[in-house]
Structure 1
Amino acid sequence: MRTLGNVIWIIFGGIFIAIEYVVASIGLMITIIGIPFGLQSLKLAEMALLPFNKRAVQSDAASGCLSLIMNIIWFFIGGLPIVLTHLLFGVLFYVTIIGIPFGNQHFKLMRLAFSPFGKVVINRGSN
């Protein structure tokens, strides 16, 4: 199901979401101040390209207070529109039974977009 889900995801818009995140990342990385936020955008792009094989987990090396501060800044600068977009698409996919797995992936991306600092993206089979 993961492979088929990823192929369908890519064909019906997943590639465009990943490209959007990469372009946003390049735009953020133009300035030195935006580099940490650009790296988080790349994390979202990685997860958006093949979401059925990935999951986001808390990093062991998360730097507590700094991650919290960066997540707050991220949320107000760019995270809120991303979260709302994934929420909208998740709800729209939930309207049909066939779209529920894709809605789940949008909700997974929404959770990562809410607070990407201090999290790492891993393959589902990895520990």
Structure 2
Amino acid sequence: MRIRRWWRFDQWIPVFAAMPRMLAELSADPDSGMRGYRLVFDPRGPWLVQYWDSLEKIYSYAAAPESEHRPAWTAFNTRARSAPNAVGVWRETFPVAGAESMYVGTPPLGLAKAVGTRPVGPRSARARDRQARRDR
């Protein structure tokens, strides 16, 4: 979410308020496909990183008429037409099939917190070697 007109509370508060309901719904349902998330606050508004099992699970949730997402998205689009520059939303989707995360001296965050970790052993000490094994 990007707040472009701070004084337009009527536009951005409903968008801001909708996300916790969606996150609670997804977190309560292990079959939803959402593995975890991280919410970050920025001077221009909050942003959210979510970790999902698959693109299909994301699209299924977004399109489900009984989900919290559908009415929130419909309401956002209605408000956005009445004040097009007040608040915006953005989304980027990256399949992470070959992703690797490294953690030294810190607990797992982000992707590793969402899906777990594997220790590195003598046969997999170099990132290049681990990636080459996955690419075969």
Q: Could you say which TM-score interval applies, normalised by the shorter chain?
A: 0.3 to 0.5
TM-score by length of 2: 0.40
Q: Which has the higher strand share?
A: 2
Which protein has the bigger helix share?
1
- Which of 1 and 2 has greater Rg? 2
TM-score relative to the length of structure 1: 0.41
